[in-house]
Structure 1
Amino acid sequence: MAAVVFKADKAVFLSHKSIYSIAIVTILLVWLTVYHTPHSVPTFSRPKSHKQPYSSITSNKSDSHALCTIESYNHGKWVYDPIVNLGNNLTAANFATATGYYCRKKFAHRCFRRSESELIRAKTIVDYRWQPESNCTLLDFNPKLLSEHLNDHPILFVGDSITQLQFESLGCLLGHYYTNRHPSHSNLNGGNPNIRVDEKAPESKETASLAFIRSDYLLRLDDFKLTIPADSPGTQLGTGLNHPWVHGLSYFDYIVLNTGPHWHPNLMWGPNETEEELLDAFKRAMSTILDYLDNHVRSNQKVWIRTTPYGHAACSQFTEPSITPIPPSGKTGEFEWHLFQQFDMIWKDILLPYRKDNRFEIFDVTTLSNLRGDAHSKPDKDCLHTCLPGPVDYWNRLLYHEIMKKEIGYTY
């Protein structure tokens, strides 16, 4: 009888042991699922010697929506969607962490680094999220994946200080994966130490993965020549820089160009200093640039002509995004902001014959930017530049989308 009881107890013991094993396995599976599944920005576990597969790229909306185009993305509205509530912990460092901003250098438009009041305003600016009206799908921004891609397919930004905003924004968004380099001599300054080229690249790279060359007009105004490092910059319409850049084209797979805010009526364009003379000169200049690019850009390169958002007069009056754009009036003190849309139309017109040429495309960011009178860098003092982080970050999210959708073989 005792032996029977022993066997029964042993059976019960084995049953409990099995239950415990199943429970442990179940808990382990739950732990792996809950804590190792990405919820927003995708991250991937992989050997360091292998790059992330492009098949890992995900979208931030359901697959039932078509991927956004540049056009569909640019039409929408800003919706109130606050970032993580920092409460009493609103410091510049915590704000940078919450917004994913890791900037390797100082620059003028990091508004959140200025003062407590500017930090609060910066928080208000980023509490609004851009939502395309078509509910199209935008690929989730993955800074690690983009940084790896740019190591092999570098990008060059050329233009004025608004273009520099986009360069600085992208540098901050990729900050964990880039280090600044400012070599005294490089392929990008053509050996001319007076030409400052902002670069961000891994130390092992001979040329930048991410670079910016300041060229306010893109060519010399005196004769519409696209200059080389040994040339004189020529006449300029105010303060700024007009460095050569075409000598560096061959080092980059992606190029983002813009000009416009520094163009003004002048006797250089005609005897009457009219806006019509200015627009005619702008068209001739941009046609010259496009002709050059057509003859020198390779089939595997991509050039985006970024549109020019306008400023907002008396911008301190704006405390939130506008529902509809409030265009400039053309009055004195608005610096020809009302002509920016006409500059954009000139580019769109001269690009019409190239509409089937995959090397060139308009990168339109005007609508989403023109609604942000509240985001300008220094209300009533600088009502053209915008704070970083801010709406310019959405330009780079679109840029990421345009780059990566081609890597996954998506066609419209």
Structure 2
Amino acid sequence: MILTSKSLFPWLLIGSFIFFIFSQNSSSPPFRIKELKQRFNGGWKPGCDITNGSWVRDNGSSHGYTNQTCKTLPESKNCGKYGKKGDYERWIWQPTRCELPRFSAVEFLEISRGKRMAFVGDSVARNQADSLVCFLSETEIPKPFHKDQEDKFPIWYFESHNFTLMVMWTKFLVQGTEKLMNGSGSGDYDLQLDTMDREWTDRLHFIDYIVISSGHWFSRKIYLYEGGELTSCIFCSDQNVTNHDPTIGLQKAFKTTLQFLDEARESDQNMFIVLRTFSPAHFENGTWNDGGYCNRTRPFDESELSMTGTYWDIRNAQVEEVNKIKIASRNVKRRFELLDITKAMMMRPDAHPDSNWNNEWMRGYRDCVHWCLPGALDMWNDMLLILLKKYSWEMGNIEAERSYNR
């Protein structure tokens, strides 16, 4: 591809903008223990397992935004506007042995003052970013700084907190190339498991918080390569090629990604890296466009779940890779954490924008992959704020100790 001054201009503009933000951060005040204690009062508590629990009825408290107050809410996730039935908004996640505080935009923006956050992944990662923008917009309306033609790399800037939020769209995290058939895309892919997708890694400069995720694009025919050599495949029937389920390829892709982020020369500052576990789909009797649907009207109980199968295997592989990098990493500027939402979201077959009740909205297909907003997915950002509190507390203690020893 030949780069022209016209094609480079948007990225030069983005680079200048991020450099400006980065230069503003040098004047940010250091952490102070007294402020930290005040900031986290009633928030994260050591030993609290927020991943195990149940969905309970919420008869009064607000999500913090509605489908009417959030002006950036995508039409495809605006289930309330198009008449989705059921009480999909009226449930909150209740951990078994502790509380999960509801999201506070004020707390989030204060913790994130002077920072840059990126959601890296597919359209479900964008789903979470849209929820976060809706939450934060209740406190401060962001300035949309950049929107590319396909809307895959949007940037929002919260000026009064000097906080930048962006999405970096990628199907597989690693490099994937669609195979062509008669000059058109075939839907099959070649995947280089040991090579990063530079579409997002080239934009990694100056990122402080990064939330990575992937999964649904692995459920198709994919040929897996390592060292430039074909090693195996997913959902193929080729002779002399070992066929795997999606878990094998996905786990290797996450391993490569976490190792890259641990060693990345693209970014030399502190970086908090969160892996969000697999978000399950709930199709019944088919898929997107062949009769599948998800028209249930209440959450599952834990007794209705089966902790087996591909979804749970993918989640376990992701947990394994995060645990491995935590042990292996020697980079004091990197912190890795898990945003484990799989079990909670396996219980929410009622919370997708399935078009069974309004076929004109989705124009012929059923969406049991993405999530209504506001709704169950907002809990991911409740959890994300808890992880940020934990990270900020740890970094604050480190900074205080350094100051004390000077």
Note closer, same or farther for the CA distance 1:329–1:253 as it changes in structure 2 (3 Å cut).
closer
The Cα RMSD (Å) is 3.8
| Residue 183, structure 1, aligned to residue 146, structure 2 | yes
Q: Provide the C-alpha distance between the structure 1 equivalents of 2:187 and 2:258, rounded to a whole number of angstroms.
A: 21
- Which residue in 2 is equivalent to 1:130? 93
Match of 1:162 among 87, 110, 124: 124
Letter in 1 for 2:237: N
Q: Provide the C-alpha distance between the structure 2 equivalents of 1:290 and 1:56, rounded to a whole number of angstroms.
A: 33
Q: Provide the C-alpha distance between the structure 2 equivalents of 1:174 and 1:324, rounded to a whole number of angstroms.
A: 32
| Residue 197, structure 1, aligned to residue 153, structure 2 | yes
> Structure 2 regions of 5+ residues with no counterpart?
1-30, 179-184, 190-196, 225-232, 285-292, 357-365, 398-406
TM-fit CA distance, 1:252:
1.4
TM-fit CA distance, 1:153:
1.8
- Which residue in 1 is equivalent to 2:347? 371
**Contact persistence 1:181–1:199 (CA under 8 A):** yes
Match of 2:214 among 237, 256, 259: 259
Match of 2:105 among 133, 143, 147: 143
Q: Which has the higher strand share?
A: 2
TM-fit CA distance, 1:158:
0.7
| Residue 272, structure 1, aligned to residue 237, structure 2 | yes
* Bigger relative contact order (CA 8 A; separation at least 6): 2
Alignment of 1:331-350 (within 5 A): 338-350=309-321
**Contact persistence 1:58–1:140 (CA under 8 A):** no
Note closer, same or farther for the CA distance 1:68–1:311 as it changes in structure 2 (3 Å cut).
farther
| Residue 57, structure 1, aligned to residue 25, structure 2 | no
Letter in 1 for 2:59: P
Q: Provide the C-alpha distance between the structure 2 equivalents of 1:237 and 1:340, rounded to a whole number of angstroms.
A: 21
**Contact persistence 1:57–1:139 (CA under 8 A):** no
Q: Provide the C-alpha distance between the structure 2 equivalents of 1:375 and 1:292, rounded to a whole number of angstroms.
A: 34
Q: Provide the C-alpha distance between the structure 2 equivalents of 1:395 and 1:339, rounded to a whole number of angstroms.
A: 21
- Which residue in 1 is equivalent to 2:254? 286
**Contact persistence 2:64–2:135 (CA under 8 A):** no
Note closer, same or farther for the CA distance 1:325–1:211 as it changes in structure 2 (3 Å cut).
farther
Letter in 1 for 2:56: V
TM-fit CA distance, 1:286:
2.5
Alignment of 1:201-350 (within 5 A): 201-203=157-159, 209-222=164-177, 237=188, 244-266=199-221, 268-269=223-224, 270=233, 272=237, 276=244, 278-296=246-264, 298=268, 300-314=270-284, 316-324=294-302, 338-350=309-321
Q: Provide the C-alpha distance between the structure 1 equivalents of 2:156 and 2:66, rounded to a whole number of angstroms.
A: 23
Number of residues paired by the alignment? 314
**Contact persistence 1:141–1:400 (CA under 8 A):** yes
Letter in 2 for 1:78: W
TM-fit CA distance, 1:277:
5.9
- Which residue in 2 is equivalent to 1:83? 60
What SS does the corresponding residue of 1:355 show, helix, strand or coil? helix
Letter in 1 for 2:142: T
TM-fit CA distance, 1:99:
8.5
Q: Provide the C-alpha distance between the structure 2 equivalents of 1:307 and 1:139, rounded to a whole number of angstroms.
A: 20
**Contact persistence 2:277–2:341 (CA under 8 A):** yes
Match of 1:108 among 54, 76, 81: 76
Note closer, same or farther for the CA distance 1:149–1:57 as it changes in structure 2 (3 Å cut).
closer
> Which protein shows a greater Rg?
1
Letter in 1 for 2:377: V
TM-fit CA distance, 1:384:
1.7
Cα shift readout 1:350-405 (whole Å, capped 9, x = no counterpart):
33332345622221111111101111111562112121111111110111111123
Note closer, same or farther for the CA distance 1:57–1:341 as it changes in structure 2 (3 Å cut).
same
TM-fit CA distance, 1:100:
9.9
| Residue 361, structure 1, aligned to residue 331, structure 2 | no
Note closer, same or farther for the CA distance 1:81–1:53 as it changes in structure 2 (3 Å cut).
same
Match of 1:405 among 390, 394, 398: 390
Bigger drift between 318-327 and 165-174 goes to 318-327
Note closer, same or farther for the CA distance 1:371–1:101 as it changes in structure 2 (3 Å cut).
farther
TM-fit CA distance, 1:97:
5.2
- Which residue in 2 is equivalent to 1:384? 369
Q: TM-score, normalised by structure 1?
A: 0.65
> Structure 1 regions of 5+ residues with no counterpart?
1-50, 86-94, 224-233, 331-337
**Contact persistence 2:67–2:81 (CA under 8 A):** no
TM-fit CA distance, 1:147:
1.9
